[in-house]
Amino acid sequence: MKLRQGQTWQCGENFVRIVRLERLEVGYKIFKSLKGDAGRHQETTKKDFCRMLKGATLLTGNQDLVQE
């Protein structure tokens, strides 16, 4: 799985957006709805974050369509 800053994932009823991506840590924000900005900021290790995203769906947008 290729993580990038700004990606949005759907995990069940919640949405998760990566706000800060480092080598070993991920800062992310959890939303109930994509329409609002109200959400909780959290940090975890990259390994735990990938475990959390297991079974989640990546939502494609303009940021995710940029080719390297």
51-62 pLDDT, tens digit per residue, is 999 999 999 764
Quick check: is 63 in a domain? no
Quick check: is 50 in a domain? yes
Quick check: is 1 in a domain? no
Quick check: is 28 in a domain? yes
For residue 60, give the DSSP letter.
Answer: P
Quick check: is 33 in a domain? yes
pLDDT at residue 61, rounded to an integer = 62
CA gap 34, 25 in Å, rounded: 24
Quick check: is 48 in a domain? yes
Domain hosting residue 35, numbered range: 8-58
CA gap 49, 52 in Å, rounded: 5
CA angle 43, 48, 54 (to 5 degrees): 120
The dihedral through the CA atoms of 61, 20, 56, 3 has a sign that is positive
Give the pLDDT band of residue 66 (cuts 50, 70, 90).
Answer: very low
5-62 pLDDT, tens digit per residue, is 999 999 999 999 999 999 999 999 999 988 877 888 999 999 999 999 999 999 976 4
Specify the number of domains making up the chain. 1
Strand partners, 17: 8, 29
Q: Is the pTM of this model over 0.75?
A: yes
Quick check: is 24 in a domain? yes
pLDDT at residue 60, rounded to an integer = 78
